[in-house]
Amino acid sequence: MAAATQTLTAADAFTITLIIRRFLPDVDDEARWESFDVSVYSTDRILDALHKIKWEQDGTLSFRRSCAHGICGSDAMRINGRNRLACKTLIKDLDITQPIYVEAIKGLPLEKDLIVDMEPFFEAFRAVKPFLIANSTPEAGKERTQSVAQRAIFDDTTKCILCAACTTSCPVFWTDGQYFGPAAIVNAHRFIFDSRDDAADVRLDILNDKEGVWRCRTTFNCTEACPRGIEVTKAIAEVKQAVLRGKR
């Protein structure tokens, strides 16, 4: 009987307050906070609350989202001061007695509401050559083989979805947009330590730069921000070690 009551309670809708940092470039000179009351269920995520606002209250609210299941990396945003994916943040895990603050990720040019210009982020990503560069030719009809142990070395960094939660949580990136940023280094790590790749030295040289791995201050913001649980700071440290060794 008690269990049944609890189930009923869990299914009841309740009202939360979302305070969203709005910026409509046609109207606003500067970003401003706007408050919305929205009725949600405890199983809802922040993304559901944003949808409700956009669909039922204010159609001008703009944000990116694609898959809505934590894989595409479109909806990274700053929720209660922490970078998270809106589609992976359950409302019941936040303190709903207080308003929930939602704003765009920091350090990239704000375009509209929760949308930022991701181009500087992807520019850094492209600069580390995030694709296989192999000088060898596999046997005809065969693929390049790799042992389980060889794969395990860089397995963690293959999980990156390029949501920019890490890079835009990095205080060095906030003040120095030239810094490659954690995400670019993670994606360099993914190929530097791949036994099938032959261009580790090229990528290590790129990251052995004034704006490369040496700018990392190991504040661990990136590791805490990563919605995929990648040990970002550890990956950066491994790249530092590889630069010092001069090889992977």
CB atoms within 10 A of CB 194: 23
Q: Which stretch binds other proteins (CB under 8 A): 20-28, 76-84, 101-109, 126-134?
A: 126-134
Determine, following the binding rule CB under 8 A, whether residue 212 of this chain makes contact with other proteins.
yes
| Residue from 14, 33, 214, 220 in contact with other proteins (CB under 8 A) | 214
Determine, following the binding rule CB under 8 A, whether residue 198 of this chain makes contact with other proteins.
no
Rounded to whole angstroms, the Cα distance separating 146 from 33 reads: 51
Determine, following the binding rule CB under 8 A, whether residue 245 of this chain makes contact with other proteins.
no
Strand partners for 116: 110
Determine, following the binding rule CB under 8 A, whether residue 215 of this chain makes contact with other proteins.
yes
Query: Count residues contacting other proteins (CB under 8 A)?
Result: 23
When the beta carbons of 181 and 212 are compared against other proteins, the nearer one is 212
When the beta carbons of 240 and 248 are compared against other proteins, the nearer one is 240
Q: Identify which of 173, 175, 176, 174 has the alpha carbon closest to the alpha carbon of residue 236.
A: 173
Q: Parallel, antiparallel, or unpaired: how do β-strands 14-22 and 100-103 relate?
A: parallel
| Residue from 16, 172, 188, 192 in contact with other proteins (CB under 8 A) | 172
Q: Which stretch binds other proteins (CB under 8 A): 66-74, 141-149, 161-169, 198-206?
A: 198-206
Determine, following the binding rule CB under 8 A, whether residue 33 of this chain makes contact with other proteins.
no
CA distances from 162 to 4, 51, 105, 170 (A): 42, 23, 13, 15
The 3-state DSSP class for residue 89 equals: coil
Rounded to whole angstroms, the Cα distance separating 97 from 198 reads: 54
Rounded to whole angstroms, the Cα distance separating 74 from 65 reads: 5
CB 40 within 8 A of CB 48: yes
| Least separation in angstroms between CB 247 and other proteins | 15
| Least separation in angstroms between CB 244 and other proteins | 7
| Least separation in angstroms between CB 172 and other proteins | 6
Determine, following the binding rule CB under 8 A, whether residue 93 of this chain makes contact with other proteins.
no
Determine, following the binding rule CB under 8 A, whether residue 217 of this chain makes contact with other proteins.
yes
Binding-site string for other proteins from residue 127 to residue 146, where x marks contact by CB under 8 A and - marks none: x-xxx---------------
Q: Return phi, psi of residue 135, to 5°.
A: -90, -20
| Residue from 40, 162, 206, 232 in contact with other proteins (CB under 8 A) | 206
The 3-state DSSP class for residue 180 equals: coil
Q: Identify which of 199, 185, 159 has the alpha carbon closest to the alpha carbon of residue 239.
A: 185
Rounded to whole angstroms, the Cα distance separating 90 from 44 reads: 6
Q: Where do contacts with other proteins occur on this chain (CB under 8 A)?
A: 123, 126-127, 129-131, 171-172, 175-176, 202, 205-206, 208-210, 212, 214-215, 217, 240, 243-244
